[in-house]
Each structure stands twice: as structure tokens, then as C-alpha cells.
Amino acid sequence: MNILILGANGFIGSHLSEAILTQTDWSVFAIDLAQNKLEKCLSSERFHFFLGDIIKQKEWVTEQIKRCDVILPLVAIATPAAYVQNPLSVFELDFEANLAIIRQCVRYKKRIIFPSTSEVYGMSTDTEFDEEKSNLVTGPIHKERWIYSTSKQLLDRVIYAYGKHQGLSYTLFRPFNWYGPKLDDIFNPKQGGSRVLTQFIGNLLRGENIMLVGGGGQQRCFTYIDDGIRALIKIIENKNNASHQQIFNVGNPQENISIRGLAELLIGLIKHYPQYANNVNKTQLIDVDAAQYYGAGYQDVQLRVPAIHKASEFLNWQPIINLEKGLRKTLDFYLNPHRC
């Protein structure tokens, strides 16, 4: 198979490219603005990389869509601070640019595997979010955080409709707080500049206080990247057509932890890296108001647990890496790179 990955240098794209090249005989055609996360892929004869921007390189993208069997459009802004600060950029890239790609997949009858998001469930009050049953609940328009969730939700609906009415072959997958090596830049000191895990690791290394938004009682189910990628490979394989026109939550319901609990766990783990122990001891956990941290347009999700019976049944997939093991692997990558 020829697989097209748009945004191959991103967190998911880089891990997926590497997994495809090492575990399968498929070829990868790929584009991104940078290539710093692809060092292990670039030397492979089956990796065909183009350094560029999907919005500017439209002809290249169209050629590859025609050439490839499966298309994964992974280009998106995915950090909550950006949803509030740059909602229109989120709309233009996450929605508009991706809609154009989806339409080309319809036009050239190509299979698309599209990243939906756990964020589509928003503030649903369900104790487990179910792909087929849960309501998708977002806040009022002035709560701009929801532009990401609703952009993705509308694309989910568009893809579903193209599938149902025009035969588009698709799979939607919903990552639940995937984390691991190469997530975000831990050296980006900007508050909200990255997702919570990388933000906290950066805070601890620099001896800065950790900001617990709203007191840190909100919970997330952190899912190690290798578990997520295993699900994606199964989705691409599509054995017995199991992923055809389906939506899958891909998350780890066992590893539900509060944000305060995550901070405490990280403090305990990073203390074992002697070069950082001093700075970690300087760090305090500070409660901060959400509007003060992110701006008035922010609204949070208190509980976000995936139902994964569908992925388990259709894909024969279960997450197998627990949070502590996954965090150790992640910290080894960031803090001890020579060991990776």
C-alpha cells in the first residue's frame, strides 16, 4: 500500500511513519514544514518526503492523493491555548484546509483516515464517551475554546455524510490525550504553549511553579503513543473491512487521573533524574483561575473517559502501557536522550 501522511513531522505523524516503515512493507509519501522528528525515517527507501506547506503545495498534494491508497490528513493546531488566542487560524487550518483534502478523497475515490478528537464530546456528562450514543456538548459562542471541537465535529459529520451518500471510504479515530516522546517542545516556556504533560515537564526542569488550572481536579485518560499507533496500524490494515466507515475512540480508560495527580506523579518521577532534582524541589503547585490562565474564552472538560469496547471488538485492540510506564519512557526521551 501507498500511504499519504500530511503533517508527517507532527507527534502522531512521526510515530506513525516510523511504525509503518519498521512493521510493514507499505510505502509512505509525506509532507511537513519541518523534518526534525523524522530522523529515523528519512533514510528509508520507502519514505518519500517533501518539505513544504500543504496550503501552498496544492499540486503536490493532489498528485500524491491520486497516487496513494490511504490518506491521513494529520495537519492541525491542537493546543487549547491556540483555540482561544487564534480561533480563526484553527478554523482555517483544522477545518478549511482539511475540508479541501476530504473533498479530493471523495473526488479521487480514496480511503481517508481522519483524526477526529476526544474534544468533540466536549462537556458531555456521560461517565464514558461512546462513539454511537454520547451527545456532543459544547459551550456558548463566546467560549472560543470550542472552535476546535466544533470544527472537528463538522468535519466528522461531513465525512460521515460523504460516506453514507457518496460511498466515501473512511475511518474516524478519536485520540484521548495521547502522549509520549516528541509530543511538544518542553523548552517552550510560554504558558499554554504546549499540552499539559509537556508544559509540566518544562516547568519542573526549569524549577518553575506548576499552574493547576481550576485547581487541577479535572481528569484525563492519558494514552501512550505506542498504544495509539497500534490502533492506527490496525485501522489502516482494515482486516475483514473492520474499520470501514467506522468511528473509534482510541484511549486508555484505566489511566484516568486528575491533573493535580499527574503533576504529583511527575514530581516523583523527575526527582530520580539527579540533574533535575534540585529544580523539582523548588516547584510548588499553584491553583490558578482558568480565565486568568487561558483567557475568558476558555472552558474546561472535567471528565473525559473513552468507551473502547468498539475498538476492542472491531480491531481486537486494547491499550497495554500504563501511565507510569509511559511517563518513564517519555521522560527518558526528553531528559535522557542518549538512552533512547
> Of the candidates 307, 162, 178, 313, which has an alpha carbon nearest to the alpha carbon of residue 243?
313
Q: How far is the CB of 153 from ligand UGA (least distance, A)?
A: 12
Q: Nearer Cβ to ligand UGA, position 78 or 266?
A: 78
Residues 6 or more apart in contact with residue 228 via CB below 8 angstroms: 12, 15, 175, 178, 250
Helices 323-335 and 259-270, interaxial angle, to 10°?
Answer: 50
> 77 φ, ψ to 5°?
-85, 130
Q: Which is nearer to ligand UGA, 176 or 334 (CB)?
A: 176
Nearest to 219 by CA among 189, 267, 186, 263: 263
C-alpha cell at 181: 516522546
User: How would you class 25 by CB atoms within 10 Å of its CB: exposed for 0-12, middle for 13-18, buried for 19 or more?
Assistant: exposed
Burial of 244: CB neighbours in 10 Å, binned 0-12, 13-18, 19+: middle
The nearest distance, CB 177 to ligand UGA, in angstroms, is 4
Tell me which residue has cell 468498539.
Answer: 310
Minimum CB distance to ligand UGA smaller for 13 or for 68: 13
Contact 120, 174 (CB under 8 A): yes
Choice between 195 and 329, CB closer to ligand UGA: 195
Closer to ligand UGA at the Cβ: 301 or 323?
301
Question: What distance in Å separates the CA atoms of residue 304 and residue 293, rounded to the nearest whole number?
Answer: 21
Where on the chain is the footprint of ligand UGA (CB under 6 A)?
78, 80, 117-119, 175-178, 195-196, 199, 211-213, 216, 218, 220, 259, 300-301
Q: How far is the CB of 164 from ligand UGA (least distance, A)?
A: 25
Question: 92 vs 237, which CB is nearer to ligand UGA?
Answer: 92
- Cβ of residue 11: shortest distance to ligand UGA, in angstroms? 9
Nearer to ligand UGA, 1 or 267 (CB): 267
Please report how close the Cβ of residue 304 comes to ligand UGA at its closest, in angstroms: 7
Q: What is the DSSP string of 27-74?
A: EEEEEES--TT-TTTTT-TTEEEEES-TTT-HHHHHHHHHH-SEEEE-
Smallest distance from the beta carbon of 167 to ligand UGA, in angstroms? 28
Assigned C-alpha cell, 288: 490558578
Take residue 122 and report the three cell numbers written for it. Answer: 466536549
Residue 117 C-beta: closest distance to ligand UGA, Å? 4
Q: Grid coordinates representing 136?
A: 456532543
C-beta of residue 254 within 8 angstroms of C-beta of residue 319: yes
- Considering the complex, state which of residue 74 and residue 301 has its C-beta at the smaller distance from ligand UGA: 301
Which residue, 18 or 94, is less far from ligand UGA as judged by CB? 94
